Amino acid sequence: MERLINFSVKMYRSRLAYILRHTLRVMFPLILIGSFAAVLRFSFFSTSGYISTIIGLNRWLPFYRQFGQVTKIIFECTINIIAVYAAFFSAHYTVKAYRKNISGAGAVGPFAFLIIAYQTTTQDSLSFNKYLLSEGMLIAIVVGYLCGRLLVLFAKSKEMKLNQLIKPIIIISIVAVLVNMMLGLFVSLSLPTYVASFITINSKVKAFWYVIALGTLTDIMAIFALGGPFIDSPSFTDAPSWANLMHALQTGSAWNAPYKYTDTTIFHSFANFGGSGCVLALIIAILIVSREQRYRSVSKWSLFPAFFNDHYPMMLGIPILYNPVFFIPFVVAPLVNMLISGALLSLNWIPAAVYPVPAGTPAPLIALVGTNGNWGTFILSVSLIIIDVLIYIPFVRMAEEIIKKAGVENDD
């Protein structure tokens, strides 16, 4: 444990950590607003959303459709293009970390990233790779960093005149176009999300470990801001989900479903309370034990989105992304949840979540709704959240100790 603390302190003081920390933190207000808009859009202002369905919001609220359009616009301009902001601030803070004053340095980052993300279409329209814009934050940060380093390399003095930007921008343009052409060989950067359909060819035991492995991979990729096999919400259109739903409709019960071990019944129902890494548990742990004012402030603002399974504010505000201290609980907490829920499913102590869950369903209620009101699954969900909080608490304390030892000012 002491080695991890010393390593983290050393990393925390590095230039790269400075760039990452400030790049992520400065995006927090934008992403927080985007997360609120996402929750309102999918849960409140969608006719199939959880809150809208329960209270019939679309039937009595004036300007219901207009509110939905507003939240969609905000969501699309924040969360869905998050990587563009990352490229800008990464380039900006890279130049700043090397104590250079280069006007317009931040704009070079998104300039290069948008060239990389551009897609040619048959129609004369502007189109970008949606996976890169929404899930390519790591790539965007790397692009911004490399652009910043190149500008620093060409800066012969502390300040760089605008006409001196021409050469590095030409180089950046050529390299970005070449990268774009290479990426054109791939249809998308994310792994297939309909993995559950492959479970039908496996025995039940293999299916269980298949879901555990891919669920863990999803959380590992999430902490690096990459899409994973289970990153999308379940569509209920794959073969196992259809078979489970038909069984429930025919028998009138979720018990004894033919496919107990799927991404829906284990990962989405029990492994991502508050989003990837069980972020809701981290928020609770911080509010219980943390004395770090910024941690508490970020957690309070992030509580509402996390309750509806949106983890973005915490990922950037703490930040959790690329943070070696929170990597262990971020992966271990969901893994523990999957193992416990999978064991209870195998013992037939709880039914499988086979019914479609409305968009924006609060995290602790997903299994309850998915089993059509089985209170055993709700008690299990609450118990797992408590276990996750206990897992996170020592790492929250460790993170605070690292901040104190590093002696780095926590400027918001």
* pLDDT tens series, the chain, 412 aa: 667 667 667 777 778 888 988 999 899 999 999 999 999 998 999 888 888 888 888 888 898 899 999 999 999 999 999 999 999 999 999 999 888 888 788 899 999 999 999 987 767 678 888 888 888 898 999 999 999 999 988 887 766 666 778 889 999 999 999 998 887 665 444 444 444 445 444 545 578 888 898 889 989 988 988 777 777 766 566 677 778 888 788 887 888 888 888 888 888 889 889 888 999 999 999 999 998 898 999 999 999 999 998 999 999 988 898 888 899 999 999 999 999 999 999 898 999 888 888 888 898 899 998 888 889 999 999 999 999 999 999 999 998 888 887 765 544 4
| pLDDT value for 91 | 94
Can you tell me the distance from the alpha carbon of 186 to that of 104, in angstroms, rounded to the nearest whole number?
Answer: 32
Give the angle subtended at the CA of 338 by the CAs of 334 and 341, to the nearest 5°: 130
DSSP secondary structure letter of residue 230 = T
| pLDDT value for 237 | 61
| pLDDT value for 84 | 94
| pLDDT value for 194 | 45
DSSP secondary structure letter of residue 365 = G
pTM for the full predicted model = 0.86
| pLDDT value for 203 | 47
**Where does residue 124 rank: exposed (0-12), middle (13-18), buried (19+ CB within 10 A)?**
exposed
- Give how far the C-alpha of residue 121 lies from the chain's centroid of Cα atoms, to the nearest Å: 29
Per-residue CA distances from 188 to 67, 138, 183, 263 (Å): 32, 15, 9, 21
- Give how far the C-alpha of residue 236 lies from the chain's centroid of Cα atoms, to the nearest Å: 21
| pLDDT value for 234 | 65
For residue 187, report the phi and psi dihedrals to the nearest 5 degrees.
-70, -45
Residues 211, 212, 213, 216, CA torsion sign: positive
DSSP string, 175-206: HHHHHHHHHTTSS-SSPPS-GGGGGGGS-HHH
| pLDDT value for 354 | 86
Which tokens is 197 given? 């359909």
Q: Which residue has the tokens 């990393």?
A: 11
The residues spanned by each domain of the chain are 81-189, 192-406
| pLDDT value for 140 | 94
